[in-house]
Amino acid sequence: HTHVGICISLVLLLLVTFSHYTKIMKQFVRFAIISALAVIAAAFTQPAFTTSKSVRRMASAAEEEIQEVKVGDEIPQVILKEGQVDYGAPADVDIAELIKGKKVAIFAVPGAFTPGCSKSHLPSFMTAQDELKAKGVELTICIATNDAFVMEAWGRTSGGADAGIMFLSDPEAELTRKLGLSIEGGILVRSKRYSLIAEDGVVTHYFSSANQSSDTWAPAVLSKL
């Protein structure tokens, strides 16, 4: 900012003596004032521009580094939230500890109470509980980035909780991002629709919705078990 102070002093000095110059000198002074103002503007705007570019570059690099989950990957250790009845304080659930030593089905949805998730994806796992258990699946988990209170209410009112499905919130989208399955932008970072089977914390089957949503529904999962 020392350069900015010098430029401002120069502008003030030129303004005071402006009336004493000839026509030619007046033109020179105008040029000097414009140049000084340009330097001042550049001094204030350049760092912000550079920072903005740096942030975009780092964000882009971070996105490129996170690959979508695949068979053979381990489910990362992330603390999720489980809503409690009667608006109790949500409980912490370490997803890695929860599924350790178990064969589990995990499916994620973009949003609780949304049409496709409520009419198709969730019900498909509700009606498939007996078949999944017959295939050795000990626990079915539904995950979304909605808060724990919303997830508890969805599980309770949909009948999913009564069917034996565990509803967990990923409120900061930490797990979703680590799996490379986040939908960024907007107020709420959402999860892409997917399903997977994990045994002792390792993904053995992965079902993406890239082609069509039904590829992640329970019948598609059962067909591969």
In the block, tokens 């973009």 appear at 110
Q: How far apart are CA 62 and CA 57, in angstroms?
A: 9
Select which of 95, 104, 106, 117 is catalytic. Answer: 117
In the block, tokens 């796992």 appear at 125
142 has catalytic annotation: no
Radius of gyration in angstroms for the set of CA atoms belonging to the chain, rounded to a whole number: 29
Measured N-to-C along each axis, helices 2-17 and 23-65 cross at an angle, to the nearest 10 degrees, of 160
In the block, tokens 């909605």 appear at 146
Phi, psi angles (nearest 5°) of residue 106: -120, 130
The answer to whether 209 and 109 have CB atoms below 8 angstroms apart is no
Q: How far apart are CA 172 and CA 56, in angstroms?
A: 21
The answer to whether 50 and 28 have CB atoms below 8 angstroms apart is no
The catalytic residues are 117
